[in-house]
Chain A
Amino acid sequence: MTPSTEKTIERKFIFEFSAQTSNETYQFEVPIHIPFVGNINELSQRLITLFKVPVYIEKDLEAELKLFVEQETLSYLDNIAVDAIKRGQNGEVDVEEIIKNFERLFKEETAEYAAPRGSTDEELFATVYHKLVHSPALEAMLQVEHAYSIVVNEMTTQRDDELAALTERQGKEMSHLVSGIGDFSTEAEVNSLAARHCEDQNMVQAKINSQIDSLQETQRREYREWLMKLLEEQAEEASSVTPPTPSPTHIVRHITTEVSSKEKKKSSSDAKADVPSNPSMEESFTIHLGSQMKQMHNIRIMSADVLHLCKTHLSANGVKHMQPQRLQTALALYSNDLCGLVLLTDGLISSYSGTTKEFINVCQQSTEFHFPPIDDQLEKIREGVKETASWRQEHWGSENLSLSGQQWRRASSAGALRTGDVYVTRHSNLNEVHVVFHMVIDDSLRSSDMNSRHPAILGLRNVLKMACSNDVTTLTVPLLLAHHMTEEMTVAWCAKRAELVLKCVKGFMIEMASWGGSELKNLQFVVPEGISDEVFVSLAAMLPSVFRVSNPLVFKASSAPITPKTA
């Protein structure tokens, strides 16, 4: 490919005509850009008006102009082509390079030349799962999943119990030793004990963790194998009339009995802790967006712990009381209606703290049957972040986002993520969520003066765009861009923040409507649990004022107005 030559050239069109009454000839000339854009007939009409020339030349002028433009365009294109060919002939351009480029294009973009590629394991399993989950096998599958997760949960609880016990014992030992310093112990002994304790802790943790890992690995393998078998059985069932083999049920029974026996032992101990905490307050609306292109969305505001959407709640009497949301989540996993959640995190991707750490724990409560375990996913992202650093360096100059230098500098070392960056993890074992958008935030969010150009808001826009282009049709957003109440979050602060987020999200949603992706059906705003009733009510009241609520106005001509149900 040659560097692009000038896009248009100018050519002079000269037209000559004679007066009908004398032998005099007249001529006029006009510059015309080649390639010509527009309508030649219209141009010739304009020329007639412009030069005040007689109308009888109309046909001649049109024909000549048409011919002129046609020939000039052809010779313009010919010249470019001849030039390009010459450059190819004398080696000015590297023909091999061109071939390579085209080959890449054809191979990457067309099915005809793309390397034949079978379905990946992931796609295959997706098809199998999606098929089975929409078959009568659904119930059995969910029960197996549930039973599996109870076993994992057992083990993590056991780990935590054991560690707690160990810590307690070590504490006693230590305090005993410390109290005897100079008496029956030395500092060196204390130090070595501390070191030993630490080692013990790690050892116990590592031991159980590896047990959990191997358990999850086994579960994952077993489960996938079982599903494959199930599918085969279903296929056989469909083709012949042989009675189904009893294998799926026996697995379930096997597991459930095992579980229930274990459960009995501990049932009384922490039954209370397991009671799921529902959102304490919530309110929902149906709204219309867009002044011309109206779209309907459901909007909900609720006060809850964000992780509530993630935790699968194992009640004491486990198997029987599986949460109905799990069913919904499983059915939609490979559909075009995904559920997403925006989780706020700090930019440190090597060590986790706060909500992110809790979230990882929640993920590990049960086995991930579909996607890589959370650790592996995060590891992949860490690799991606390195790429990011080099990408950013390259594009540093072309930065045109109006972010203050300060904000950029805050994201210190290369390789770290910046405020507003988002990394994404996928999950099949969470309660109501398939896709989690981890948005990086920093302390600047605590301030009350935040505007719509803040990176976190732009990050939110990216999240909405991603949702739109990846069929995430239910999205939960922390309304105050915070997961916990802190002291600077006064009533005024909350109102201001909520208004900013609502208005921006509304703007983004209107913008999204023209992107041609999937539209957001349900938008949920979550506020921290500890919020006061009054503040919640005032925030909830803000929703219908920012978004236009679609309450149909029912009226009938010539009769008394009908008001919806007067109490």
Chain B
Amino acid sequence: MEPRFAGMTFFATSHAGDVCGTNGLPLTPNSITIYGRSQILRTFSHPNLCMYLDIIRGKHERTMIVSEFYAQSLASVQDSISVPGIVKICHQTLKALSFINSFEIVHRCLAPDNILFDAQGNVKLFNYGLYFMTGKGADVSFPIGNPRYMAPEVFLVDSQIASSPKVDIWSLGIILAEQALGLGQVWSELKLAQLMRKVLSLINCNSDTSVFSRIAREHSCWTKYENLPQSLVHLINSCLQLNPSDRPTPKELLQFSIFKEYTLDDIQIGKFDRPDTLFENIHPLNSLPLQELYYLWRLAGGDVQSELKKQGLIRTMPPILSVPRLVLLEGSVLGKRRDQTSLLDLKIIPLSLDSLRNRLAPVPFSAYYPLIETKSDILNEEEECDAATLPLIIRERDTEYQFRRVVLFRRLLEGYPHTKASIVREARQDIPPLYRGRVWAALLEVEGDFESFYVETDKETPNHTDRQIEVDIPRCHQYDELLSSREGHRKFKRVLKAWVERNPQYVYWQGLDSLCAPFIYLNFNNEALAFACLSAFIPKYLHRFFLKDNSAVIREYLAKFTHIIAFHDPELSNHLQEIGFIPELFAIPWFLTMFSQVDIERCLSDSVAFYCCTPRSTTYRQHERCPGKISQKNKPYHPDLEMSAQSVAELQAESCPRISGADLLDLLDSSKFPRPKVLVVDVRNPELFHLGTAPGSINIPHSRFDLTQESPPLPACPEANILLQNRGKILVVAGQGDSPHAVQVAQVLLRNGLPKVCVLNRGIDVLQLANLLTKPTSS
């Protein structure tokens, strides 16, 4: 397989000495600035542009770029190109330039070696992001551009001022002139200084001789020049206008009539129809989007840095040879030898796909097109990949497994929102990191025209939260180069401001930035999606947490948290109670940031386990987003069977959570749970108990507990032994109505170390509503 992408590298300038930003924090290294800025390039998809696949930061401010690549470039084409061919190159290059111009990007180093051709002979513009990603050259020490093709004004204008899109047109003009006159290279015999002198001498050119004709005369190809079609000469002359205001932009040039004169589609440039390309084209890997190919290439052991090293592009001098001699207090360094290996060398190193091809050789062709909606009898049910049963960390690194997941998820995402159910089902298994951003968005049910919504949201007008945001963002998220880049900070600020703007009832609380971080990270090139995800996420998990006065919400939440601890871990609960360590002292940041500061992997698997064995109603909060789905089919419904709001003081007064009658009925349903998971402890008087109680319940009248003691023991009776024997079951303490006895007894059970104790809301009477009271079987 031919390489499909290639790597190149350069160094950013490192900041000198002791410089600080205006906020007093150390300056962000230039390589990080470049890293953040260049991310947007990865979204560019245009038929005449090479796609940017990755930007990698190395040590000592090195930046490596991975980009789509084709072996054939205009510089390597040997045969002379026909006039229609030249027009085609021009046309497609202009389309590419016009596209990048619409993102305010200028190529600045347009030259024949940056014009590549794909197998069909179409122009693929290369390296068009260098000027943009380096902050118009400000973040690097080398000059950007090839002096042979640089427009005169590039030399003359202050380098701090951005180049206009028209400088590329000049370069294109020179390139076209070379091709039209059949020159290998203009002024090929001139040395660097002479070359620049030549270019700059053109500004003193007599205005009635065109630059193109001068070039033709100087290279003694006047006859050739005279024989060129007028429209082509006109085109090149327009490109080579000295005065930039006379020179058209790419967009304007595209309107020239010459492009209508020729049918450009079938023109071949160079020799491309080698026999093997036909075969190569059908290699199924080529059917994958380039990003997927690159993702898999890396999983299959591809390492850009070591590849560049192997090919000699990254050479390093032993550091001891370049140690400086003297460092002054002020931070200036003297006698540091310039490491010759740090010069700009824009060599392009193709990255071989062979190891990936070998790695995926056993994968059948059908795996490239998995069936999603239908089943087939002919194609046997996909044989699972070996890695499917292994831990997540291995699955995420397994090339073949990821290949299958990536292909599957791409197809599912293409069908979103129709495929929502399948996405949720598959995501339960795992999410391929490549598509995590979009999968999360699907899980959060982001749909509709969120882009326009975001554009309409005002993110500029200053408001009172700006200062806090400005302080929080730069000092947090240092752990990640993307989020700590200037571009990352900008996105943080915009998304947070948009959220505050769109949620006037809420305010920016510290911690909101931590919630925002994963969405910005995953959707770095799609702020609107990041915002839409954040907007969907917060009400789902942190409903009303960001109210200006959120104390009611938080206090209720923490009180419930205490209950849950008591329910699952009585020992811990008793200990915390003993030392008076209330969750207000430690847990608020956990909830405000959704545990973003802890080992989330572990946290997640634990919470799933806890969730499964916690009756829903024990976590009831009045400030929840929606109080559960009320109308469940075939279930008796009565308001008394459901939970009702309690004040924070009430919640805090009780040690154990309450369970709703509906949940108890559900747990008592013997068709669902043949082995009962619940034991009801009826604490009413024996008389009432014998009149009717919950099925399978035991009776320990509350009077048997000596509640005057500080920590009363369990009463000595056979029922207490039953309790201990049933340790681990959910123990529902039920009393008469809302009498306080049940709560007190529940607390005694808890203090005696029994787990999963809860109190039946509204007492045993609610069971009457479901006609479930039975006479206890005499023991």
Contact = CB atoms under 8 A, between A and B. Distances in A.
A252 interface: no
A214 interface: no
Interface in B692-714: none
A292 B477 contact: yes
A462 B331 contact: yes
For this complex, into which size category does the number of interface residues on chain B fall? 35 or more
Interface string B340-365: 10011110000000000000000000
A84 B160 CA distance: 13
Contacts of B323: 424, 426, 435, 466, 470
A99 B197 contact: yes
Contacts of B165: 74
A511 B158 contact: no
Contacts of A420: 329
A385 B335 CA distance: 11
A80 B29 contact: no
Contact of B158 (A3, A424, A458): A3
A380 interface: yes
Nearest to B201: A95
Nearest to A113: B192
B200 A98 contact: yes
Interface in A406-464: 418-424, 426, 434-435, 455, 458-459, 462-463
Given A110-B143, A470-B319, A401 B329 contact: yes
B326 A46 contact: no
B156 A93 contact: yes
B59 A109 contact: no
A45 B501 CA distance: 14
A180 interface: no
B245 interface: yes
B3 interface: no
A112 B191 CA distance: 12
Contacts, number: 240
Interface string A97-132: 011101101111111111001000011001000100
Nearest to A517: B60
Interface stretch (B38-46, B454-462, B548-556, B587-595): B454-462
Interface in B294-328: 316-328
A459 B329 contact: yes
A442 to B, nearest CB: 12
Is the contact region of chain B dominated by helix, strand, or loop, or is it mixed?
loop
Interface stretch (A36-44, A182-190, A267-275): A36-44
Given A74-B164, A109-B142, A84 B319 contact: no
A210 to B, nearest CB: 27
Contacts of A102: 143, 147, 155, 196
B479 A35 contact: no
B161 A88 contact: no
A250 interface: no
Contacts of A135: none
A387 interface: yes
B166 A88 contact: no
A100 to B, nearest CB: 8
Given A42-B459, A81-B244, A470-B322, A293 B329 contact: no
B325 A424 contact: yes
A87 interface: yes
A114 B204 CA distance: 29
Nearest to B150: A102
Interface string A334-372: 111010000000000000000000000000000000000
A109 B141 contact: yes
A325 interface: no
Contact of A455 (B166, B329, B346): B329
A234 interface: no
A333 interface: yes
B203 A42 contact: no
Contacts of A336: 316, 318-319
A209 interface: no
A388 B143 CA distance: 29
Contacts of A26: none
A377 B479 CA distance: 40
Given A381-B326, A384-B335, A4 B203 contact: no
A78 B241 CA distance: 12
A80 B327 contact: no
Interface string A539-562: 000000000000000000000000
Contacts of A42: 455, 458-460
Contacts of B166: 74, 77-78, 81
A458 to B, nearest CB: 6
Nearest to B328: A421
B263 interface: no
A517 B322 CA distance: 15
Interface in B119-162: 141-143, 147, 152-153, 155-162
Given A42-B460, A81-B156, A292-B478, A458 B340 contact: no
B242 interface: yes
Given A78-B245, A109-B141, A49 B320 contact: no
Contact of B143 (A89, A105, A434, A472): A105
Contact of A88 (B193, B200, B243, B326): B200
Given A292-B478, A424-B326, A462-B327, A110 B320 contact: no
A423 B333 CA distance: 10
A277 interface: no
Interface string B583-625: 0000000000000000000000000000000000000000000
Contacts of A105: 142-143
A505 B328 CA distance: 18
B31 interface: yes
A333 B320 contact: yes
Contact of A106 (B143, B158, B244): B143
Nearest to B247: A78
A45 B458 contact: yes
B47 interface: no
A192 interface: no
B509 to A, nearest CB: 19
Interface string A187-205: 0000000000000000000
B245 A82 contact: yes
B322 A384 contact: no
A410 to B, nearest CB: 13
Interface in B658-688: none
Given A123-B317, A426-B320, A516-B29, A462 B329 contact: yes
B29 A380 contact: no
Contacts of B317: 123
B330 A424 contact: no
Contacts of A532: none
A130 B455 CA distance: 59
A533 B57 CA distance: 47
- Candidate in B32, B157, B479 with the most chain A CB atoms within 10 angstroms: B157
Interface in A47-99: 49, 74-75, 77-82, 84-85, 87-89, 93, 95-96, 98-99
B328 A2 contact: no
B329 A419 contact: yes
Contacts of B322: 470
A25 interface: no
A384 B162 contact: no
Given A88-B203, A110-B343, A80 B478 contact: no
Enumerate the 10 nearest inter-chain pairs by beta-carbon distance, A residue then B residue, closest first.
Answer: A77-B164, A420-B329, A109-B142, A334-B318, A84-B156, A81-B153, A111-B345, A471-B319, A293-B479, A292-B479
30 contacts: A4-B161, A42-B459, A46-B460, A78-B244, A81-B157, A85-B152, A88-B203, A89-B203, A95-B200, A108-B338, A109-B143, A109-B344, A110-B345, A111-B345, A126-B321, A333-B318, A336-B316, A381-B325, A384-B335, A388-B326, A399-B330, A424-B325, A424-B327, A458-B329, A462-B331, A466-B333, A469-B60, A514-B478, A514-B484, A517-B60
Given A3-B158, A42-B455, 5 more contacts: A74-B249, A84-B158, A85-B242, A403-B329, A470-B320
